[in-house]
Amino acid sequence: MDKNYYDEKIRKIPDFPKQGILFYDITTLFEDSQAFQSCINDLYEYFKFEKIDKVVGIDARGFLLASTLAYKLNAGVSVVRKKGKLPFKTMSASYEKEYGPDTIEMHADSIKPGEKVIIIDDLLATGGTMLGTVDLIKQSGGEIVGIGCVIALTFLPGLKKLEDLGYKVNYLISYDNENTRNDAIKIGIIGGSGLDDPKLLDAYEEMEVETPYGKPSSPLTLGKIHGVDVVFLSRHGKNHSIMPTQVPFRANIWALQEQGCTHIIATTACGSLREYVKPGDFIFPDQFIDNTKQRALTFFEDNVVHMPMSKPFCENLRNVFMASAKKLGLSFNEKGTIITIEGPRFSTKAESSMFRMWGADMINMSTVPEVILARELGICYQAIAMATDYDSWKENEDPVTWDMVLKRMAQNSENVKKLILDIIPKIKHTDCDCRKSAI
């Protein structure tokens, strides 16, 4: 499994066990049967070609990992415990760790001279516990052939200390900083309207990428907004040269997922199908109707997957959007049903009236299948829809034209930017139903 998968399963608890410490709680990973199996299988891949006699587990979460891994490796288990917990003759090693000094012990006869040993723990931080365990194994005469853990905090010195001593450390996920506010957040922004303006970003770069579904619509623009990692993608290309049906939706969503995006903000122009949704208003849809005809709607081509879709948009994101829009004094509708048509033509008057009878509140050409594909990958997705016109249904109003859409988009572009800049630092949730319902 990739880093994002494990990151979602690990709970982060600030100021535990004391102020200033961010605790990485791996019990949430253990409680998920699939995640725990993946964890053991991935660790097994690192050591399966070695002849292992003993797997040494470190008190206490390391016991669970070591015992399960030892079973797969056909090896025995030795335990390293805190001082005073073992009943027989022991060897001891003292060390400093991030919480203060400590001592660990191992039974003196736990490892026989010459036995090949791997050390397993849940997390590598300053390296004190692991270095103390290395000392115990040396005292016993064992040969350390590998070290493994689930988490490595690479901004702390433990990894480098072990590597400087010549040990190879295998880990499933690493963190290179300790940002308790948004360490697991990366936001993809899909749209246009100047939203990929590099001036909005700190330390930006452009990246060309390839996916199993071809190239995305545009190069990715990577950078930071208010310290949060963001990735911009232009849905219709930098010059709006890709017609709606030909947008490589699967490549776009896959590319953002590959970059580690946990959330997607998608801007879209739409026609209003309701009197109360006025041109210039923002709408944060909560439902969609699919009226497309020619698009690939899923990543699952080789097996049948019935994807839950009763709540397709992210409620957590929509709440953030509404709070920001209210703060900024923007005119908005907190929810609504958006219908996506194939395009590129606009609706006939008869179609526009029919969509209203279906219960749609707005119409566009882009939300489907973006929202579906994001859910399949477990990415929180919410659209910011900007009403530009009344489509074709409203009497005494000019029917929609492309010039009308462009004019209204230009008028509203600064409000879109203000809204997104205000939203970004407020997106903090990583535990979400969007991820739980993903396949």
| Assigned domain for 127 exists | yes
Q: How far is Cα 270 from Cα 89, in angstroms, rounded to an integer?
A: 75
One domain for residues 30 and 94? yes
The string of pLDDT tens digits covering residues 223-281 is: 988 888 999 999 999 888 999 999 999 999 999 999 989 999 999 999 999 999 999 99
Which of 175, 210, 227 is at the close of a domain? 175
Question: Minimal CA–CA distance to 136: which of 98, 110, 171, 115?
Answer: 110
Cβ atoms of residues 120 and 57 within 8 Å: yes
Q: How far is Cα 21 from Cα 302, in angstroms, rounded to an integer?
A: 45
Which of 146, 175, 204 is at the close of a domain? 175
One domain for residues 431 and 349? yes
One domain for residues 168 and 194? no
| Assigned domain for 181 exists | no
> pLDDT value at position 183?
47
Whichever domain contains 154, its CATH number is: 3.40.50.2020
Question: Catalytic site residue 422?
Answer: no
> pLDDT value at position 181?
40
| Assigned domain for 391 exists | yes
- Nearest 5°: phi and psi at 58? -100, 135
Helix, strand counts (H, E) of the chain: 12, 20
- Nearest 5°: phi and psi at 410? -65, -40
Catalytic residue among 229, 281, 286, 391: 391
> pLDDT value at position 407?
78
- Residue type (1 letter), 126: T
One domain for residues 372 and 311? yes
Paired with 271 in beta bridges are 363, 389
| Assigned domain for 267 exists | yes
Distances, alpha carbon 375 to alpha carbons 5, 106, 146, 176, 253, in Å: 14, 48, 38, 28, 10
Please give the distance of CA 416 from its chain centroid, rounded to a whole number: 24
One domain for residues 103 and 196? no
Q: What is the largest CA-CA distance in the chain?
A: 93
Question: Minimal CA–CA distance to 270: which of 322, 333, 221?
Answer: 333
Q: How far is Cα 351 from Cα 356, in angstroms, rounded to an integer?
A: 9
Whichever domain contains 219, its CATH number is: 3.40.50.1580
Instruction: Supply the pTM of this predicted model.
Output: 0.61
Element (H, E) at 144: strand 143-153
Below-50 pLDDT ranges, the chain: 180-183, 193
Cβ atoms of residues 254 and 369 within 8 Å: no
Question: Catalytic site residue 389?
Answer: yes
One domain for residues 217 and 134? no
| Assigned domain for 180 exists | no
The three state secondary structure string of 253-308 is HHHHHHCCCCEEEEEEEEEECCCCCCCCCEECCCEEEEECCCCCCCCCCCCCCCCC
Number of domains in the chain: 2
> pLDDT value at position 199?
67
Catalytic residue among 121, 122, 281, 389: 389
The string of pLDDT tens digits covering residues 415-435 is: 898 999 999 989 988 878 888
| Assigned domain for 330 exists | yes
One domain for residues 205 and 87? no
Which of 141, 156, 175 is at the close of a domain? 175
| Assigned domain for 83 exists | yes
One domain for residues 423 and 339? yes
One domain for residues 93 and 195? no
Q: How far is Cα 320 from Cα 284, in angstroms, rounded to an integer?
A: 10
One domain for residues 143 and 255? no
One domain for residues 191 and 339? yes
| SS3 of residue 176 by DSSP | coil
Q: How far is Cα 427 from Cα 101, in angstroms, rounded to an integer?
A: 37
Cβ atoms of residues 94 and 83 within 8 Å: no
Q: Which domain holds residue 106?
A: 3-175
One domain for residues 226 and 370? yes
> pLDDT value at position 408?
77
